[in-house]
Amino acid sequence: MRLNAPLQGLNTLAIEASAKFLIEIKKPSDVVDALELAKCNEWPVIFLGGGSNIVFTEDLDGMAMHCLLKGISAEQQGDDVLVTAQAGESWHGLVQYCLQQGYYGLENLSLIPGTVGAAPIQNIGAYGVELEQLVESVYGWDLNQQAWRTLSAEECQFSYRNSIFKQQLMYRFFITSVTLRLSLNDIPNISYGALQQHFKAAGIQSPTAQQVSEAVIAIRQSKLPDPTKLANVGSFFKNPIISQQQQQQLLSQFPDMVCYPQTDGRVKVAAGWLLEQAGWKGKKMGAVGMHDQQSLVLINYQQGDGKDVLDLAEAIEEDIAQRFSIELEIEPKIF
Ligand code: EPU
């Protein structure tokens, strides 16, 4: 265990903060031991994976548990394969491993930063696939029940960038492994517009999963900044979901607004489009600013702190509410 440990290298927004105690979780029993120690001392606890979806606004006067659990196993079931990955594995590392083994389904989720254990928390999604479509179960330590527990995909209560781990079980369930149901059949999903355009331009009609992975990597690299070069946590806001009635009203004023119909009749709006229209693309405010290729990505350019980040987010939220009567919601966890 380290005392007064710096967290700047453990969050991809590179915010300077520290934890009074930092403990590395290298085997499942470390989870129980660390939590017992925190309970005896009444320390508040947070869980850290790759730090790619958290904004620190203060030092932690308690214990940060850094998950370093490693290992991947697979079990074939007919045409399916159940892949279990330990929570500290890199997400993109898992995607590549599965592709190499001929386990298909994760290709659209290539190059997402962060760890396997963090993936179900925000139900990662990209290029037409959301993690919930592939999750079989999530295993970990339930702090309320003081027991190891397997949660089925249904029990995880997944929805767009949301799950039970961001709600009732926030910091109450330490995920140690995730089991995914993948396929041995190479039938990729290329429903997402940007992927279709990519393959049309390349003259490829039926791409393989490997080609989809390469396309997703190329598209991501063309507009999403590499967090090791420009500190960021990916999309800073969720794409807001509005009623059809509000969509109609807005379309009469903004006919180009980018929208995606949802299965429940409501409509998801591209927040990046709203931000670009409002002039936030590439705009800086002190040490932080919005990316000049993808306006939804907030960048920490010059060692800004949590307050700089939240001030910019607030200015954007107010502006978007005023212009479009739409309330934006911050996507990463604010600590
Ligand atoms: N757009 C603009 N200007 C911008 C950005 C976007 O006009 O600056 C419009 C464009 O019309 C574009 C559309 O918005 O076609 C959608 O943009 P993009 O494909 O980049 O996706 P997004 O909706 O901005 C979401 C996810 C990303 C994910 C991509 C691809 C959220 C909050 N973000 O972004 O996830 O990679 O789709 O599927 O849902 C993340 O969660 O950190 C993340 C990067």
Question: Minimal CA–CA distance to 231: which of 312, 303, 308, 286?
Answer: 303
pLDDT category of residue 212 using cuts at 50, 70 and 90:
very high
- Our answer to whether residue 331 is catalytic in this structure is yes
For residue 261, the SS3 value is: strand
The Å distance, Cα 272 to ligand 1 centre, comes to: 6
pLDDT category of residue 150 using cuts at 50, 70 and 90:
very high
Do residues 107 and 98 make contact, with C-beta atoms less than 8 angstroms apart? no
Best residue for ligand 1 mutational test, from 296, 299, 316, 320 (most atoms within 8 Å of Cβ): 296
The rounded distance, in Å, linking the Cα atoms of 117 and 91 is: 8
What pLDDT score does 41 carry? 97
* Residue 161 alpha carbon, nearest atom of ligand 1: 39
Do residues 58 and 39 make contact, with C-beta atoms less than 8 angstroms apart? no
DSSP state at residue 132: G
Mean pLDDT for the stretch of residues 60-88: 98
Q: In the predicted model, what is the mean pLDDT of the chain? A: 97
What pLDDT score does 235 carry? 97
Question: Annotated catalytic residue: which of 89, 132, 137, 161?
Answer: 161
pLDDT category of residue 87 using cuts at 50, 70 and 90:
very high
- Our answer to whether residue 90 is catalytic in this structure is no
The Å distance, Cα 117 to ligand 1 centre, comes to: 23
The rounded distance, in Å, linking the Cα atoms of 11 and 334 is: 12
What pLDDT score does 177 carry? 98
Residue of the nearest CA to atom 6 in ligand 1? 272
The Å distance, Cα 270 to ligand 1 centre, comes to: 7
The answer, yes or no, to whether any atom of ligand 1 lies below 6 A from the CB of 280, is no
Domain 72-183 indexed as CATH 3.30.465.10? yes
Do residues 194 and 92 make contact, with C-beta atoms less than 8 angstroms apart? no
The rounded distance, in Å, linking the Cα atoms of 213 and 102 is: 13
The rounded distance, in Å, linking the Cα atoms of 52 and 10 is: 8
Do residues 123 and 159 make contact, with C-beta atoms less than 8 angstroms apart? yes
The rounded distance, in Å, linking the Cα atoms of 180 and 106 is: 9
Residue of the nearest CA to atom 13 in ligand 1? 270
pLDDT category of residue 328 using cuts at 50, 70 and 90:
very high
* Residue 237 alpha carbon, nearest atom of ligand 1: 32
Do residues 8 and 16 make contact, with C-beta atoms less than 8 angstroms apart? yes
Alpha-carbon distances of 246 from 41, 265, 313, rounded to whole Å? 51, 12, 23
Mean pLDDT for the stretch of residues 202-228: 96
> How many CB atoms are closer than 10 A to CB 149?
14
The Å distance, Cα 234 to ligand 1 centre, comes to: 10
Provide the β-strand partners of residue 138.
Answer: 151, 178
What are the residue ranges spanned by the domains of the chain?
2-67, 72-183, 231-334
DSSP structure string for 159-172: BTTB-GGGTTTTTT
* Residue 293 alpha carbon, nearest atom of ligand 1: 8
Residue of the nearest CA to atom 20 in ligand 1? 294
What pLDDT score does 209 carry? 98
What pLDDT score does 68 carry? 98
The answer, yes or no, to whether any atom of ligand 1 lies below 6 A from the CB of 91, is no
The rounded distance, in Å, linking the Cα atoms of 295 and 206 is: 32
Question: Annotated catalytic residue: which of 137, 213, 235, 295?
Answer: 235
Do residues 236 and 313 make contact, with C-beta atoms less than 8 angstroms apart? yes
The answer, yes or no, to whether any atom of ligand 1 lies below 6 A from the CB of 241, is no
pLDDT tens digits along 258-310: 999 999 999 999 999 999 999 999 999 999 999 999 999 999 999 999 999 99
What pLDDT score does 124 carry? 98
The answer, yes or no, to whether any atom of ligand 1 lies below 6 A from the CB of 225, is no
Dihedral of CA atoms 89, 70, 11, 66 in degrees, nearest 10, equals: 150
The rounded distance, in Å, linking the Cα atoms of 320 and 37 is: 45
The Å distance, Cα 273 to ligand 1 centre, comes to: 8
Candidates 3.30.70.20, 3.90.78.10, 3.40.50.300, 3.30.70.1520; CATH matching 231-334: 3.90.78.10
- Our answer to whether residue 181 is catalytic in this structure is no
Percent of the residues in the chain that have a pLDDT greater than 70, as a whole number = 100
Domain 2-67 indexed as CATH 3.30.43.10? yes
Q: Backbone dihedral region of 165: left (phi > 0), alpha (psi from -120 to 50 degrees) or beta?
A: alpha
